[in-house]
Amino acid sequence: MSRPYQQAIAELARQAQALLGCELAASQLAQFEQLTGLLLDWNSRMNLTGITEPADIALKHYLDSLTLLPYLPQARRSRLLDVGTGAGFPGLPLAIALPQLRVTLLDATAKKLRFVEEAGRALKLDSTRTVHARAEDAGRDDAHRGTYDFVAARAVSRLPALMECTLPMTKRGGLIIAMKGSSAQEETRAASKAIATLGGELESVDEVRLPGLDKPRYLVMVRKVGKTPRRYPRQAGTPSREPIM
């Protein structure tokens, strides 16, 4: 008897191999199937995602998240922060694909983090933890400031504000990966002053095309090369209202 989400996850495995050169083990595919069931079950009781077809979940949530894999180390226990994780993307798929990666999933919405915590327990993702906080508040906390090798953000805020929320928490030499849509180039230009002010340097804007989707996605790479002034990030909400421009 076939499992409910087996076909969608089998296609995910094929696409991950073809697009990213990533070979997912049978145990990892089983985790993705289990995550799909959990997501749809919880989504019937609270609004976690508007994407509810298993094939679309596999493509638009899982494969999209896994496009970060080529930029992440495969063999060492780096620390990654997923800012504004929502229902756990990209953090949960990355934790499945890279069990050695220490993933912190941060969000300001407690009910979404309850799902992320339950998924982490059910899937035995022992290298994950959650933080309930605004990114601006976490960035002023020494427990997070200058702590992470990688910071990922997917559909969180415009790049000038996002830089103020993420560069303070990134280690010097660390990398921010901002997952963006069609506005990536315009946002990157608008963020040039914020990047420089906060100790960053634009490394690249890489186009990613997912199968079956007409519009490309973009990964904006910003390297932390200097020190972020202590006055940043400013109070919660200020980076969006008054971005560094």
CB atoms within 10 A of CB 21: 9
The CATH number that applies at residue 213 is 3.40.50.150
**Burial environment of residue 19 by CB neighbours within 10 A (0 to 12, 13 to 18, 19 or more):** middle
Is residue 125 over pLDDT 90? yes
Render pLDDT for 196-222 as a digit per residue (tens, 0 to 9): 999 999 999 999 999 999 999 999 999
Structure tokens at 107: 């969000």
Number of domains in the chain: 1
pLDDT in tens, 230-243: 999 999 999 999 99
| Segments forming the whole domain that contains residue 124 | 74-241
Residues 132-178: pLDDT tens digits?
999 999 999 999 999 999 999 998 999 999 999 999 999 999 999 99
- Can you give the pTM of this predicted structure? 0.96
Amino acid identity of residue 221, one-letter, is: M
Q: Is the pLDDT of residue 2 over 60?
A: no
- Would you say residue 133 lies in a domain? yes
Confirm whether 12 is domain-assigned.
no
Q: Residue 40 domain-assigned?
A: no
